Structure 1
Amino acid sequence: MVTFILYPVYGIIKNKKNQPAGDIMPDSIKNIKAKNKLGLIFFPAFDWAISPTHPEREERLLYTRDQVFEEGLMDIDGIKEFNPGIAEEKDVQKVHICVPEVKKVTTPSHLISAGGAIKAAGLVLNKEVDKAFAIVRPPGHHAFRVVHGARGFCNINNEAIMVEAIRSKYPDLKIAFVDTDAHHADGTQEIFYHDPHVLHISLHQNGRTLFPGSGFTNEVGGPGAYARTLNIPLPPYTTDEGLHYVLDNLVLPVLEDFKPDLIINAAGQDNHYSDPLTNMKISARGYAELNARLNPDIAILQGGYSIESALPYINVGLILAMAGLDYSNVREPDFDSRNLTQDPVITDNIKNTVAVLREIWENRNNQAPVPDTGEFTIKNNFYEREKHIFYDTDGINELQRERVKACPDCPGYIIIDSRAEKGFRNTRIKAISIPLKACKNCHEEAHLKFEEAKKEAGNKYDYLYLQDVKGEEFVTYPSP
Structure 2
Amino acid sequence: MNAKALFIYDENETAYRFNDSHPFNQKRLILTVDLLRKAGALPPESVISPGKAAEAQLYHVHSREYVQAVTALSYPEPEQKWLQQAEKYGLATEDTPFFPGMNDITMGLVGGSIRAVDAVMTGETVHALHLGGGLHHAMPSKGSGFCVYNDAAIAIAHAKSAYGSRVLYIDTDVHHGDGVQWSFYTDPSVCTFSIHETGKYLFPGTGAVNERGADSGFGTTVNVPLEPYTEDESWMECFSEVLGKVAEQFKPDLIVSQHGCDAHAFDPLAHMHCSMEIYRAMPRFIHQLAHQYCGGRWVALGGGGYEIWRVVPRAWSLLWLEMSEHAIIGQLEKDPELALPSSWLKEWQPYCSEALPSTWLDPVETWEPIPRRNEITQKNRQTKELAMLYLPK
Measured against the shorter chain, the TM-score band is 0.7 to 0.9
Higher normalized strand content (fraction of residues): 1
TM-fit CA distance, 1:247: 2.5
Which residue does 1:353 correspond to in 2?
383
Task: Give 1:274 deviation, angstroms.
Answer: 1.0
Verify the 8 A CA contact 1:43 1:113 in the aligned structure 2. no
Equivalent-residue separation in structure 2 for 1:38 and 1:285 (angstroms): 22
Q: 1:127 to 1:271 in 2, by over 3 A?
A: same
Do 1:206 and 1:235's aligned partners in 2 also have CA atoms closer than 8 Å? Answer: yes
* Correspondent of 1:141 among 128, 136, 141: 136
What is the DSSP-based 3-state SS (H/G/I as helix, E as strand, rest coil) of the residue aligned with 1:55? coil
Question: Is the CA contact (8 Å cut-off) linking 1:186 and 1:215 kept in structure 2?
Answer: yes
Match of 1:97 among 63, 79, 103: 63
C-alpha distance in structure 1 between counterparts of 2:186 and 2:172, whole Å: 21
Q: 1 CA distance for matches of 2:108 and 2:37?
A: 22
Work out which of the residue numbers 107, 110, 115 in structure 2 matches 1:114: 110
Note if contact 2:121-2:163 (Cα within 8 Å) is conserved in structure 1: no
In the TM superposition, what are the counterparts of 1:160-171 in structure 2 within 5 Å?
160-171=153-164
Which of 1 and 2 has higher RCO (CA within 8 Å, sep 6+)? 2
Select the structure of larger CA radius of gyration.
Answer: 1
Paired letter, 1:252: G
Deviation at 1:47, TM superposition (A): 2.8
Distance change (3 Å), C-alpha of 1:301 and 1:340 = farther
Q: Is the 8 A contact 1:215 1:231 kept in 2?
A: yes
Indicate the SS of the match to 1:184. coil
Amino acid at match of 1:169: A
The alpha-carbon deviation at position 230 of structure 1 amounts to 0.7
1:380 is matched with: none
Asked whether the 8 Å contact 1:145–1:190 carries over to 2, the reply is: no
Q: Which amino acid aligns with 2:8?
A: I
CA contact (8 A) 2:275 2:364 kept: no
User: 2:148 pairs with 147, 155, 159, which one?
Assistant: 155
2:345 corresponds to: none
SS at match of 1:142: coil
Partner of 2:348: none
Equivalent residue for 2:17, pick from 49, 52, 72 = 49
Q: State the secondary structure of the residue aligned to 1:268.
A: coil
Shift of 1:168: 2.2
Change (3 A) 1:154 1:340: farther
- Note if 1:270 corresponds to 2:262: yes
Match of 1:39, SS state, is: strand
Q: Give the whole-Å Cα distance in 2 for the aligned partners of 1:122 and 1:270.
A: 28
* Structure 1, gaps ≥5 residues long: 1-35, 366-480
SS in 2 for 1:130: strand
Structure 2: how far apart are the matches of 1:64 and 1:213? 30
Q: Does 1:68 align with 2:36?
A: yes
C-alpha displacement of 1:360? 2.4
Deviation of 1:98 (Å): 4.4
Identity %: 30
Structure 2: gaps (5+ residues) = 74-101, 291-297, 340-356
Letter in 2 for 1:253: K
What CA distance in whole angstroms lies between the structure 2 residues aligned with 1:340 and 1:293? 28
- CA-to-partner distance for each residue in 1:82-141, whole Å, 9 max, x for gaps? 11010010000111114353423652110010100011111111111110110105x520
| Alignment length (residue pairs) | 323
Of 345, 363, 375, the residue aligned with 1:336 is: 363
